[in-house]
Amino acid sequence: MKSSMYGAGAEYALHSLLILATRPEPVSVRDLATYQQIPERFLAKIFTRLKKAKIVKGLEGISGGFALARPAGQIPVMDILAAVDPDRTLFACAEIRDHCALFEGPAPGWATAGTCRIHAFMLDAERVLQAFLASRTLADLVCEFEHKAPKRFVKETGTWFQQRKAARSRKASPQLDLPNP
């Protein structure tokens, strides 16, 4: 049976991709996890799925990390959700119509014939939701974010990621103390 509704993985992916969409350089999973105070190992698994779906690309080296594989306007939200939670659905029918106190023994055919009407109703709703999510892109989320967040916050976020990257660069290439001539 499929799991219903989208979970933490979808939320972590969307928030992380929002950050990548607003950064000019790659960002490490460690920095994304630290910044958002979320589990790094779980986020790494999510990024493996996003990379496999060609939503992000990994870049090696001290300045490496992840970047969007294509412009944010070309990444539908539904593609992100499908990459992270491929088996998620809006509704998981448990077929309880087969169980009723009035049925003595197996449920009569009329009760279980065809698709459960509640399930059919929810499938229609899911199709509408999926169409909506397919029509919206990561760029739409960026636009929503930029309308809400103060410009100062966006600037401070950029500074935070730059400082983390600079600290890693200093650790990777320590300055040699040469004697003065």
Question: Any idea what the CATH number is for the domain that residue 153 is in?
Answer: 1.10.10.10
Is 98 a domain residue? Answer: no
pLDDT string in tens for the chain (181-residue length): 455 577 889 999 999 999 999 998 999 999 999 999 999 999 999 999 999 999 999 998 777 899 999 999 999 999 999 999 888 887 888 888 888 888 888 888 888 888 888 999 999 999 999 999 999 999 999 999 988 989 899 899 999 999 998 888 777 665 554 444 4
Is 128 a domain residue? Answer: no
What beta strand segments (E) does 22-137 contain?
56-59, 65-68
- Tally of domains in the chain: 1
Provide φ and ψ at 69, rounded to 5°. -80, -20
Is 127 a domain residue? Answer: no
Output the pTM of the full model. 0.82
Is 35 a domain residue? Answer: yes
Would you call 69 exposed, middle or buried from its count of C-beta atoms within 10 A (0-12, 13-18, 19+)?
middle
